[in-house]
């Protein structure tokens, strides 16, 4: 007999009809639901545990159970797509009751009873129907719109969760920490479309017992404990729903209490969830503790896992039938039913009637839904992934900070580059040209003045001003409440940013080196960038991540400090990836990045080429051609907007940019590049022009994801010869994507055709020749050996000459030719 859903369903009925329930009932004093359980049964708040309370909790548990049973049935009928159940985890109903429905909740995937009860508290009438819609991946599912079965709701203040276990913990702590920070700044926390949150809100975060071991979870606990240790408010209730197993791996008995019972700053509670009144007490007390003290607490709620890990899990592979049946005998629903009958609140018949009536309620809702609509096009699926309102973003990016705020931001005396309050003449746009690090620093000051909700944080960013001094002076000017050092844990840094973004802040975290983004990349991939997608853009966690990036550092680093791999970032759906090559661009792009976050809730990674931070010269020592004036604060560069340098620009001072008119000249080739590649390409372009009479236009892409495909095609078509200079790795890097844009007609599965032209971009009637110059697929070695595996200006000259020799006249229907070159091959 292996339909365990039928078994637990039948067990309940048989219990109500059996000897045990009858005997309990006979011995029980008959009580009205409005009576207290017993005089002594008062909760920690002094409220007696009445029959009405237990009845309602029981009802929510039963709703959850019938939803689970229905999910299995829907799967069998191939109308439903989700069978991870909440069965046995129904004790979490107490969290639905004693945590307010206005307290943001980041939940485990077994939260059916919790949500059913929270829906009761929050007056959400359509909980059953909404859950059925999510099982069926219907586009009418009000939160995810059919993109995933999530536990979440706008009206109940529950953002969606992914299936990556423990990944919601860092953001939960980040949100908890933001309450205190916002309060100190006089800002009001608000959560997505739910809106403003009460000031005494706490964060609820639930997870399984195996999940606590995950490093993301451990980092989050550590961060919460550290905050408590420093007396920083961190009002979060962690709840471990301990069923003793993770898929097939048992958690050693006593591990959770051993691991969490005595953590510094973390108050520990534990209770057997099958004892509902006791679970009410423990939860109420834990919630009261967190709300009153603004300190973290950890509740171990003992539950049972029924129906295996998921519908697809064959539990007999690791449990005997006897073990499975023993777990079923410990079913929390049976425990609550027993308690209700024993206390005289319900008879066995009334208990069964409630169970059956709830089953009919769910069935009726399902019948009424019929076959609800599904997502029917790729465009529909993608709609909330990466919202972009160009006009609004542009207007926001060009909006100046209040004049007075700017004067204050740049008014620090005694710091070079800053001015005395009120001295308008010395605002940064009136200063002499500086290198990129200085301009980013000024831009950050300006943006901090513009956005009171903006925060800058990361390792060493405060007093030290970051490893490269890009954040120097910010703490002194804006205070430790807005510019602060974090723990040395990239997962926590990103989690803090996501949580802060959720609550309405504009976080600008820093990760010290590109290599260390990889350390924590799931926080971007799995969490940050998926929130809008899985909530139909009803929840957002805007953030702008600054990363000191890429290679070519002279005299420092080697390997990971010179990391040049961005493939893993480009691969993240919805992530905007920006990479300036010069100071004025950096300032203008950063304004757009903040505007993208502010207006469209976007997640942005801003890659700052370390080697260009302090670069002053372009062609010769002392030419100062890579210094830039600070652009006035009402200038911005739009997402996707590249910069084109005509050959003469390289010849002159590198500062000039042509109009981005692809047909504006008769150049010999186009160099498509970014970051350090821009500088090297301009150096190469001068050699090409002076020594060989070859006119190379250099195109700085500036935005690496999404790539501006029409712009790339147009720049390629302008000359018919394209050299891609990509300092990143040969495999998986930007060059592959550009080559694909130039070489292929694309029509992704179900997507509208991207390139409807039969012929690739061409100049006149010729074909486009493409060469690719990239870094080698390797870690970067220390010292001068780095140059053996990275493109150099001399390589660019060589490749450009080879390309210039190729005729652009050819067969009109011919696809682009591609020749590749990379260092170290
Ligand atoms: C990071 C990650 N690794 C692996 C998985 C696959 N997986 C899904 S649930 C699970 C076990 C989780 O167990 P536990 O935290 O005890 O929760 P339970 O399912 O028992 O409620 C695993 C390994 C995952 N979803 N995420």
Instruction: Give the tens place of pLDDT for each residue, 545-591.
Output: 999 999 998 766 677 888 899 999 999 999 999 999 999 999 999 99
**% pLDDT > 70, the chain:** 90
Provide the pLDDT for residue 743.
80
Report which of 159, 178, 177, 157 is spatially closest to residue 168, judged by C-alpha positions: 159
Distance (Å, whole) CA 696 – CA 791: 17
Pairwise pLDDT comparison (42 vs 249), residue with the higher score:
249
On whether the CB atoms of residues 151 and 111 are closer than 8 A, the answer is yes
What's the whole-number mean pLDDT along residues 246-253?
A: 97
Distance of CA 324 from the midpoint of ligand 1 (Å): 19
Distance (Å, whole) CA 377 – CA 515: 37
For the CA of 242, the closest atom of ligand 1 is 16
Calculate Rg over the CA atoms of the chain: 30
Q: Please provide residue 44's backbone torsions phi and psi, each rounded to the nearest 5 degrees.
A: -60, -25
Lowest mean per-residue pLDDT among 22-36, 68-82, 187-201, 602-616: 22-36
22-57 tens-digit pLDDT: 999 999 988 888 887 765 666 666 666 789 999 999
Which of 151, 164, 210, 217 has most ligand 1 atoms within 8 Å of its beta carbon, as the pocket-test mutant? 210
Distance of CA 84 from the midpoint of ligand 1 (Å): 11
What's the whole-number mean pLDDT along residues 149-176?
A: 96
Which of 107, 108, 170, 246 has most ligand 1 atoms within 8 Å of its beta carbon, as the pocket-test mutant? 246
Report which of 498, 494, 432, 505 is spatially closest to residue 459, judged by C-alpha positions: 494
**Contact residues for 40 (Cβ-Cβ < 8 A; gap 6+):** none
CA atoms within 13 A on the CB side of 245: 18
Q: Is 248 in the pocket of ligand 1 (CB under 6 A)?
A: no
What's the whole-number mean pLDDT along residues 699-712?
A: 97
State the alpha helices, DSSP H only, in 465-582. Answer: 474-478, 490-502, 521-522, 531-534, 567-570
Distance (Å, whole) CA 90 – CA 113: 5
Residues pairing with 820 in the sheet: 772
Q: Is 245 in the pocket of ligand 1 (CB under 6 A)?
A: yes
Provide the pLDDT for residue 35.
80
Report which of 222, 227, 237, 230 is spatially closest to residue 288, judged by C-alpha positions: 237
pLDDT score of 104 more than 60: yes
Provide the pLDDT for residue 4.
95
Q: Is 165 in the pocket of ligand 1 (CB under 6 A)?
A: yes
Distance (Å, whole) CA 590 – CA 639: 10
Distance of CA 526 from the midpoint of ligand 1 (Å): 15
Provide the pLDDT for residue 560.
81
Q: Is 211 in the pocket of ligand 1 (CB under 6 A)?
A: yes
Lowest mean per-residue pLDDT among 97-111, 187-201, 402-416, 733-747: 402-416
Distance of CA 135 from the midpoint of ligand 1 (Å): 19
Smallest CA separation from ligand 1 atom 21, residue: 208
Q: Is 243 in the pocket of ligand 1 (CB under 6 A)?
A: yes
On whether the CB atoms of residues 300 and 271 are closer than 8 A, the answer is yes
pLDDT score of 224 more than 80: yes
Q: Please provide residue 297's backbone torsions phi and psi, each rounded to the nearest 5 degrees.
A: -135, 160
For the CA of 214, the closest atom of ligand 1 is 1
Distance (Å, whole) CA 116 – CA 804: 68
Residues pairing with 241 in the sheet: 208, 301
For the CA of 241, the closest atom of ligand 1 is 21
Provide the pLDDT for residue 667.
87
Q: How far is CA 319 from CA 90, 254, 601, in A?
A: 22, 20, 46
On whether the CB atoms of residues 352 and 58 are closer than 8 A, the answer is no
458-514 tens-digit pLDDT: 999 999 999 999 999 999 999 999 999 999 999 999 999 999 999 999 999 999 999
Banded pLDDT at 808 (limits 50, 70, 90): low
**% pLDDT > 90, the chain:** 83
Distance (Å, whole) CA 43 – CA 49: 6
Provide the pLDDT for residue 19.
97
Distance of CA 335 from the midpoint of ligand 1 (Å): 26
Distance of CA 31 from the midpoint of ligand 1 (Å): 42
Distance (Å, whole) CA 294 – CA 302: 25
For the CA of 89, the closest atom of ligand 1 is 21
Banded pLDDT at 805 (limits 50, 70, 90): confident
396-442 tens-digit pLDDT: 999 999 999 999 899 865 555 555 556 777 799 999 999 999 999 99
Provide the pLDDT for residue 440.
98
pLDDT score of 810 more than 90: no
Distance (Å, whole) CA 660 – CA 643: 7
Provide the pLDDT for residue 661.
52
Peptide bond preceding 215 in cis form (omega within 30 of 0):
no
State the alpha helices, DSSP H only, in 693-811. Answer: 709-719, 734-743, 793-804
Distance (Å, whole) CA 472 – CA 295: 32
On whether the CB atoms of residues 266 and 228 are closer than 8 A, the answer is yes
∠ at Cα 431 (426, 432), nearest 5°?
155
Smallest CA separation from ligand 1 atom 26, residue: 164
Pairwise pLDDT comparison (753 vs 699), residue with the higher score:
699
Distance (Å, whole) CA 271 – CA 276: 9
For the CA of 108, the closest atom of ligand 1 is 21
DSSP 780: P
Smallest CA separation from ligand 1 atom 15, residue: 208
Distance of CA 246 from the midpoint of ligand 1 (Å): 6
What's the whole-number mean pLDDT along residues 382-392?
A: 98
Give Cα 686 distance to the centre of its chain.
43
Distance of CA 75 from the midpoint of ligand 1 (Å): 21
On whether the CB atoms of residues 12 and 332 are closer than 8 A, the answer is no
Which of 111, 241, 247 has most ligand 1 atoms within 8 Å of its beta carbon, as the pocket-test mutant? 247
| Mean of all residue pLDDT scores within the chain | 91
Q: Is the dihedral of CA 256, 262, 263, 265 positive or negative?
A: positive
3-state class (DSSP) for residue 95: helix
Provide the pLDDT for residue 764.
41
For the CA of 84, the closest atom of ligand 1 is 19
Residues pairing with 374 in the sheet: 138
Q: How many CB atoms lie within 10 A of CB 9?
A: 18
Q: Is 246 in the pocket of ligand 1 (CB under 6 A)?
A: yes
Q: How far is CA 65 from CA 61, 128, 207, 560, in A?
A: 6, 11, 19, 51
Q: Is 209 in the pocket of ligand 1 (CB under 6 A)?
A: yes
On whether the CB atoms of residues 144 and 160 are closer than 8 A, the answer is yes
Smallest CA separation from ligand 1 atom 25, residue: 164
What's the whole-number mean pLDDT along residues 120-148?
A: 97
Smallest CA separation from ligand 1 atom 19, residue: 246
Provide the pLDDT for residue 753.
42
Report which of 467, 466, 446 is spatially closest to residue 457, judged by C-alpha positions: 466
Smallest CA separation from ligand 1 atom 8, residue: 165
DSSP 275: S
Distance (Å, whole) CA 820 – CA 92: 59
What's the whole-number mean pLDDT along residues 331-338?
A: 98
Global pTM exceeds 0.85 = yes
On whether the CB atoms of residues 512 and 197 are closer than 8 A, the answer is no
On whether the CB atoms of residues 661 and 717 are closer than 8 A, the answer is no
């Amino acid at each position: 007999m292996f339909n365990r859903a039928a078994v637990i369903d039948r067990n309940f009925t048989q219990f109500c009809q059996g000897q045990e329930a009858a005997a309990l009932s006979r011995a029980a004093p008959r009580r009205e639901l409005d009576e207290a359980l017993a005089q002594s049964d008062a909760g920690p708040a002094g409220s007696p545990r009445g029959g009405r309370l237990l009845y309602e909790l029981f009802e929510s548990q039963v709703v959850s159970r019938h939803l689970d049973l229905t999910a299995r049935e829907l799967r069998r009928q191939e109308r439903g797509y989700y069978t991870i159940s909440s069965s046995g985890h129904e004790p979490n109903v107490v969290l639905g009751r004693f945590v307010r429905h206005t307290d943001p909740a980041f939940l485990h995937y077994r939260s059916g009873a919790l949500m059913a009860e929270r829906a009761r508290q929050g007056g959400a009438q359509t909980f059953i129907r909404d859950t059925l819609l999510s099982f069926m991946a219907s586009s009418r599912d009000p939160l995810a719109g059919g993109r995933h079965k999530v536990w979440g709701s706008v009206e109940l203040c529950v953002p969606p969760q992914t299936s990556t276990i423990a990944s919601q913990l860092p953001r939960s702590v980040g949100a908890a920490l933001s309450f205190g920070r916002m309060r100190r700044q006089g800002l009001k926390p608000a959560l997505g479309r739910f809106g403003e949150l009460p000031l005494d809100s706490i964060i609820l975060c639930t997870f399984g017992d195996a999940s606590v071991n995950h490093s993301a979870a451990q980092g989050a606990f550590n961060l919460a404990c550290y905050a408590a240790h420093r007396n920083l408010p961190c009002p979060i209730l962690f709840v471990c729903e301990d069923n003793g197993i993770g898929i097939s791996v048992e958690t050693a008995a006593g591990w959770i209490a051993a691991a969490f019972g005595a953590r510094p700053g973390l108050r520990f509670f534990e209770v057997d969830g099958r004892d509902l009144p006791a679970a009410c007490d423990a939860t109420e007390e834990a919630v009261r503790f967190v709300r009153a003290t603004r300190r973290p607490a950890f509740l171990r709620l003992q539950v049972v896992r029924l129906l295996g890990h998921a519908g697809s899990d064959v539990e007999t592979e690791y449990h005997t039938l006897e073990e499975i049946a023993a777990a079923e005998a410990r079913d929390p629903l049976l425990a609550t039913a027993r308690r209700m009958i024993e206390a005289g609140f319900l008879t066995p018949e009334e208990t069964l009637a409630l169970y059956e009536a709830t089953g009919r309620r769910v069935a009726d809702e399902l019948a009424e839904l019929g076959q609800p609509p599904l997502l029917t096009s790729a465009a529909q699926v993608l709609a909330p992934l990466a919202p972009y309102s160009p006009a609004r973003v542009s207007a926001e990016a060009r909006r100046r900070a209040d004049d007075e705020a700017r004067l204050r931001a740049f008014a620090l005396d005694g710091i070079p580059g800053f001015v005395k309050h009120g001295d308008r003449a010395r605002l940064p746009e009136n200063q002499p040209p500086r290198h990129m690090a200085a301009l980013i620093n000024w831009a950050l000051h300006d943006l901090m003045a513009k956005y009171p909700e903006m925060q800058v944080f990361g390792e060493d960013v405060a007093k030290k001003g970051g490893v490269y001094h890009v954040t120097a002076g910010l703490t002194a000017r804006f205070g430790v409440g807005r510019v602060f050092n974090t723990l040395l844990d990239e997962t926590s840094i990103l989690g803090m940013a996501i949580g802060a973004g959720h609550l309405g802040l504009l976080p600008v975290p820093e990760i010290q080196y590109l290599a260390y983004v990889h350390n924590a990349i799931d926080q971007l991939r799995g969490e940050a960038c998926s929130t809008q997608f899985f909530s139909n853009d009803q929840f957002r966690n805007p953030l702008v991540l600054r990363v000191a990036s890429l290679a070519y550092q002279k005299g420092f680093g080697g390997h990971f400090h010179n990391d040049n791999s961005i493939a893993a970032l480009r691969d993240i759906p919805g992530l905007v990836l920006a990479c300036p090559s010069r100071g004025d661009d950096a300032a203008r792009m950063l304004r757009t990045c903040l505007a993208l976050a502010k207006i469209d809730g976007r997640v942005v990674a801003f890659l700052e080429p370390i080697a260009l931070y302090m670069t002053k010269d372009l062609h010769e020592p002392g030419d100062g051609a890579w210094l830039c004036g600070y652009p006035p604060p009402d200038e911005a560069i739009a997402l996707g907007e590249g910069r084109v340098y005509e050959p003469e620009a390289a010849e002159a001072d590198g500062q000039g940019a042509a109009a981005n008119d692809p047909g504006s000249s008769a150049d010999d080739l186009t160099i498509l590049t970014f970051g350090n590649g821009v500088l090297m390409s301009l150096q190469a372009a001068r050699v090409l022009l002076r020594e060989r009479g070859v006119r190379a236009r250099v195109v700085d892409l500036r935005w690496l994801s999404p790539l501006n495909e029409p712009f790339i095609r147009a720049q390629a078509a302008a000359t018919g010869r394209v050299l891609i200079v990509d300092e990143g790795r040969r495999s998986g890097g930007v060059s592959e994507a550009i080559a694909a844009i130039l070489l292929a007609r694309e029509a992704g599965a179900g997507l509208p055709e991207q390139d409807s032209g039969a012929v690739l971009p061409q100049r006149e009637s010729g074909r486009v020749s493409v060469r690719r110059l990239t870094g080698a697929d390797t870690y970067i070695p220390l010292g001068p050996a780095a140059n053996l595996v990275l493109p150099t200006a001399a390589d660019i000259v060589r490749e450009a000459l080879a390309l210039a020799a190729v005729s652009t006249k050819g067969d009109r229907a011919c696809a682009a030719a591609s020749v590749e070159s990379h260092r170290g091959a």
